[in-house]
Amino acid sequence: TSDMKVDVLVIGAGPSGCVASAYLHQQGLNVKVVEKTTFPRFVIGESLLPRCMEHFEEVGLLEALKAANFEIKRGARFLRDDIVCNFDFSDKHSEGWDWTWQVPRAEFDTILAKEVEKMGVTISFEHEVVAVDIADNGTSTTTIHDADGNPYQVEAKFIVDSSGYGRVLPRLLDLDKPSSIPEHSSIFGHVKDVNRPEGEEGTLITFDVLDKDTWFWVIPFSNGDTSLGFVGKNEFIDSFEGDTSERLKTMFKQSDYYYERFKDAPLLFEPKSIRNYSKAVTKFYGNGFVLTGNSAEFLDPVFSSGVTFATESALKSAKLISKQLKGEPVDWEEDYANYIKSGVDVFATYVKEWYTGNLQTLFFHRPENPEVKRQICAVLAGYVWDKTNPFVTKHNRIVKTLAHLINMENEKSASV
Ligand code: FAD
């Protein structure tokens, strides 16, 4: 016997859990969210994509976010040696939002969770899901530890696992599988941006490319702090000595462009590190449950797709759950798994082609081809389901082919 019955149990109150629970609640369903930590809590994932604005808008979370005055992100800048590649979201192939934000997630996620509570959803903070038992008819009994460690059980018609790095159902139901993305690791932290230049230069989100496998991000926030993070192969990240502060500071010496700005910037906490962050699962849904956001899949931070994928999958799955619980038939394979996979596959190709160097060849080739750039820009804005974009529909060939042509052209001009 359970202590409580709900329609839907949502695990995790990050962006994915908040978007799912807001939608389900608006459909008149009885939703409970359990969140292991207390908010505000730190989580990485600070650069958003325009596409996710649609999700927050649709479930009524956008206005509260707007009021927080986060730094506006209108594009993204990639640097390599002295070549600059600037994407402007207002100049892209697909229809849709042309701006978003760069956000300290502790604050951002707290606003989302508070708004969802205001709508009438119960979020139990410091409650941790420890076990799940799903019956053949999909009804589940979940064991949760409350803040004092006391166990209780919740019966639900459906579970949304939005537990992010907690990966609750992939762990409990043994759904993990190796990711197809090459292994990389990261060290990241926040600094007080004491030397921030005036104007756009100070607030631009930038990806500084050191070599094919190694890059770092600069994500300035509107509160005057900036997020800095290095990404590289494990061997690169492991080759630096000392604690994470020392390692981050030493790595920073490699950036000609940013070293002066950040060399004296005080770190706001001991930087964090994460190894082999890419994750994948054997299935995105099952009898009585669905995986959303990072709990389902995480590729790589290079195109900032994490939160957008988290909210896209949350909203999509919430719509299907609501249909199903109203007695309508739902084709989870077609309308969830295949839909989500088609978007993830586009990003996966771009991530892989980033690390083969092919995409970098396209980004940094001069002169730029404006049409190609607009089409790639739409992908980078998160519009990876737009079938009018050849950089979506032909993703697994087009980047490779164009890079090959550019390389041949370069070889030809080098040999003249
Ligand atoms: P989360 O935001 O992780 O939320 C999950 C919640 O579930 C947490 O609050 C957690 O406490 C809770 N939880 C966990 N276990 C349990 C449990 N047992 N019981 C109850 N609750 C539980 N994404 C971007 O969009 N932009 C970026 O710039 C970006 N940069 C990144 C850089 C790096 C190095 C990495 C590794 C990732 C980055 N990401 C980025 C990805 C981003 O972190 C995630 O995709 C995003 O946070 C996913 O949101 P979510 O809602 O799925 O999970």
Give the mean pLDDT of 156-174.
97
**Spacing, Cα 147 to ligand 1 middle (Å):** 21
- The confidence band for 405, taking pLDDT boundaries of 50, 70 and 90, is very high
CB 190 within 8 A of CB 226: yes
322-to-20, 30, 328 alpha-carbon distances in Å: 10, 11, 9
Most informative mutation of 163, 290, 298 for ligand 1 (most atoms within 8 A of CB): 163
Q: Is the CB of 300 within 6 Å of ligand 1?
A: no
Residue in this structure with the two tokens 């009885």, named with its chain if needed: 30
Task: Establish whether residue 164 lines the binding site of ligand 1, counting it when its CB lies within 6 angstroms of any ligand atom.
Answer: yes
Contact 121, 22 (CB under 8 A): yes
Find out whether 335 and 381 touch, Cβ atoms under 8 Å. Answer: no
Dihedral, 407, 408, 409, 412 alpha carbons, nearest 10 = 120
pLDDT at 413: 86
CA of 332 to the centre of ligand 1 (A): 24
| Structure confidence at residue 2 as a pLDDT band (50, 70, 90) | confident
Cα–Cα distance list, 107 to 10, 102, 198, 314 (Å): 21, 12, 24, 20
Q: How confident is the model at residue 27 (pLDDT cuts 50, 70, 90)?
A: very high
Task: Quote the pLDDT of residue 344.
Answer: 94
pLDDT for position 414: 84
Q: Which residues contact 362 (CB under 8 A, 6 or more apart)?
A: 372, 376, 399, 402, 403, 406
Q: Which ligand 1 atom is the nearest neighbour of the CA of 292?
A: 52
The dihedrals phi and psi of 36, each to the nearest 5 degrees, come to -65, -35
Q: How far is CA 114 from CA 171, 283, 296, 332, in A?
A: 28, 31, 25, 30
What does pLDDT average to over the chain? 96
pLDDT over threshold 80, residue 416: no
User: Positive or negative CA dihedral for 324, 329, 333, 339?
Assistant: negative
Q: How far apart are CA 91 and CA 98, in angstroms?
A: 8
Q: In whole angstroms, how large is the CA radius of gyration of the chain?
A: 22
- pLDDT of the residue at 177: 93
Q: What is the pLDDT of residues 281-330, one digit of tens each?
A: 999 999 999 999 999 999 999 999 999 999 999 999 999 999 999 999 99
Here the ipTM equals: 0.99
Confidence of residue 415 (pLDDT cuts 50, 70, 90): confident
- Please name each of the domains of the chain with its CATH number: 4-74+97-178+278-343 (3.50.50.60), 185-274 (3.30.9.100), 363-415 (no CATH)
Query: Does the beta carbon of 166 sit less than 6 angstroms from any atom of ligand 1?
Result: yes
Q: What is the pLDDT of residue 329?
A: 97
Contact 354, 360 (CB under 8 A): yes
What's the gap in Å between 358 CA and the centre of ligand 1? 29
pLDDT number for residue 255: 92
Q: Is 16 near ligand 1, meaning CB less than 6 Å away?
A: yes
188-242 pLDDT, tens per residue?
A: 999 999 999 999 999 999 999 999 999 999 999 999 999 999 999 999 999 999 9
Amino acid at 144: I
Check: CB of residue 103 under 8 Å from CB of residue 253. no
In this predicted structure, the answer to whether residue 273 has a pLDDT above a threshold of 80 is yes
Tens-place pLDDT, residues 327-386: 999 999 999 999 999 999 999 999 999 999 999 999 999 999 999 999 999 999 999 999
